[in-house]
Amino acid sequence: MKKPLNIIKWTLIIAYLLFITYFISSKSKTLVCTEVNVTVTDSLTNRFVTSDEIKMSVLNVYPKLYGSLIKDLDFEGIEAIVKKNPAIQSCRIHSNAKGIVNIEVQQYKPIIRVFSGSASFYFDEAGNKIPISNKFNVSTLVVNGTIPIKPDELLYLAKFIKNDPFWDAQIEQIYIRRDNVYLLAPRVGEHIILLGPPVDIEQKFKNLKAFYQQLDPKLWNEYKIINLKFKNQVVCSRNPL
């Protein structure tokens, strides 16, 4: 008796699933776009773009989006329009059973702001250029001077500083000379840190931290230059009295 009941139960389940699949498939063929909902997933930290701006950029290219059949929408084309914005790193588009087209975007995350001649822009960790926004400024390290064509060393240094809470709070500016010597401007103290070429960065900062820890922060202003160019040495020059 048990076996026939199991057969009947599974037959009903399969029939129900087939019906639901057919129903959904039939409905999806006539489902129309009723709304476009844009979510900027990292809007609390970066505000280069707004949901309304993304939505309008899509509707300007696809003015007849509302009322169009979902099955006929060019999702790849919509994604391409969204990603034309240089602040957008990624985009995901999907629709639901109510005909709402959901667009989720994520912005690039700046790590430094570069001033090069009359130009200014951001770099993210991967070296992608992000244009400056008139509406929003990101608090990042400032970099100026002779910006290298390949910024790998610069980005490595910036990431090292950002990922260390002490240095992230202490270093506010990087200046690069033409001979590829890096100088750092701290937030606390009136001295300049002469890093030299961006090599052996971890050891140089380790030496600098050891030097700082030996002094009362009130005494940091007594120094004009803290030179880290020489291996395993910290050479200082004092401000004139």
Its sign, for the CA torsion 233, 239, 240, 241, is: negative
Residue ending a domain, among 107, 122, 144, is 107
Using 50 as the pLDDT threshold, list the residues of the chain that sit under it.
Answer: 2, 19, 21-27
Please check whether residue 84 lies inside any domain of the structure.
Answer: yes
Claim to verify: residue 103 and residue 116 sit in the same structural domain: no
Claim to verify: residue 114 and residue 76 sit in the same structural domain: no
Rounded to the nearest integer, the mean pLDDT of the chain is 87
Provide long-range contacts, Cβ within 8 A and 24+ apart, for 162-170. 162/111, 164/205, 166/209, 167/205
Structurally, how many domains does the chain consist of? 2
Claim to verify: residue 116 and residue 98 sit in the same structural domain: no
Claim to verify: residue 155 and residue 64 sit in the same structural domain: no
Claim to verify: residue 138 and residue 204 sit in the same structural domain: yes
Q: Which residues face 184 on adjacent strands?
A: 174, 193
Claim to verify: residue 124 and residue 229 sit in the same structural domain: yes
Give the residue numbers spanning the domain of 215: 110-238
CATH classification at residue 165 = 3.40.50.11690
Claim to verify: residue 121 and residue 175 sit in the same structural domain: yes
* Closest C-alpha to 147, from 184, 187, 174: 174
CATH classification at residue 39 = 3.10.20.310
Summarised one tens digit per residue, pLDDT across range 195-210 is: 999 999 999 999 999 9
Claim to verify: residue 152 and residue 80 sit in the same structural domain: no
Summarised one tens digit per residue, pLDDT across range 199-240 is: 999 999 999 999 999 887 777 788 899 999 888 788 888 866
